[in-house]
């Protein structure tokens, strides 16, 4: 069962990825397949960054007490 933090991470990554998708949609004339790939890459990258930050927080490397 997914924890609440993972669900929040997913939603945040989803909306940030959607923002990346909108940026490319407005900025460049691209096909739907390219837009979908860019959106998926954006979601994957942002989700990876969020996950990495939470791993560092768990290890107390970012904000040691």
Best CA proximity match to 47, nearest among 1, 3, 14, 2: 14
Q: What is the pLDDT of residue 64?
A: 56
The model's pTM is 0.41
- pLDDT tens-digit series, residues 25-64: 665 566 777 777 777 888 888 888 888 777 776 766 555 5
CB 12 within 8 A of CB 50: yes
């Amino acid at each position: 069962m997914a924890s609440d933090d993972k669900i929040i991470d997913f939603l945040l990554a989803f909306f940030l990825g959607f923002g990346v998708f909108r940026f490319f949609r407005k900025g460049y004339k691209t096909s739907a397949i390219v837009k979908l790939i860019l959106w998926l890459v954006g979601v994957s990258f942002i989700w990876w960054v969020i996950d990495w930050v939470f791993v560092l927080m768990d290890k107390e490397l970012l904000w040691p007490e």
